[in-house]
Amino acid sequence: MRSSLRLLALSGIAGGCGATTSGAAGPCDSFVESLARVPHVSLTTRTGRFESQWDGRSYDGCEVEFETHDSLSAGSIPDLFATPDSELYGEGWRMSDGVGADGAGSGIHGIERGDDVCVIRWEQPAYIDDDGEFVQSDRFRMWIQCWMTSLSP
């Protein structure tokens, strides 16, 4: 698992993730705000219909796409795991049971709070070279998809 994902918990990471009522902060805004503080190559957000990176189903909600390089970010990626000692946990978020996979160079997990569900996927390609050394790419990418279960198909 990428250790820098657990290095820094920024305040306000997990505000309004799901669909919001008129006048409320936009979906995924707090994720974008936290990731914007990290030097990055790109950071985009979209709202509307998307295909889940976890189960392939179609949902209405928001998506965030983020890319940085280790040479830029210096390990300052926010902690987006809702474990008992995390800021997300303190804000009421919990890890989603049954949503998670981790491997060399990529991972995916889910967090939920009330009716909101967010799936967080990251990748940083890695391999074992001919000398048996672990080699990790400088490029780090993350996707966050959020929706409300009450609006799910």
pLDDT in tens, 90-143: 888 899 988 888 887 899 999 998 889 999 999 999 888 999 998 889 999 999
Does the pLDDT of residue 23 top 80, yes or no?
A: no
* Res 69: pLDDT: 92
* pLDDT of 10 strictly over 90: no
Q: Which two tokens stand for residue 141?
A: 């990418």
- What is the model's pLDDT at position 56? 92
pTM of the model: 0.78
Comparing 90 with 4, which gets the higher pLDDT?
Answer: 90
| Residue 28: pLDDT band with limits 50, 70, 90 | confident
pLDDT in tens, 58-70: 999 999 999 999 8
**What letter represents residue 75's amino acid?**
G
The secondary structure of 48-77 as a DSSP string is: EEEE-TTT--EEEEEEEEEEEEHHHHTT--
CA–CA dist 115, 108 (Å, integer): 20
DSSP H or E stretch at residue 35: helix 29-36
Please check the confidence at residue 4 and state whether its pLDDT lies above 60: no
Q: What percent of the chain has pLDDT over 90?
A: 46
End-to-end, the C-alpha distance of the chain in Å comes to 32
User: What's the chain's average pLDDT?
Assistant: 80
Half-sphere exposure of 6 (CA within 13 A, CB side): 9
Is the pLDDT reported for residue 20 higher than 60?
no
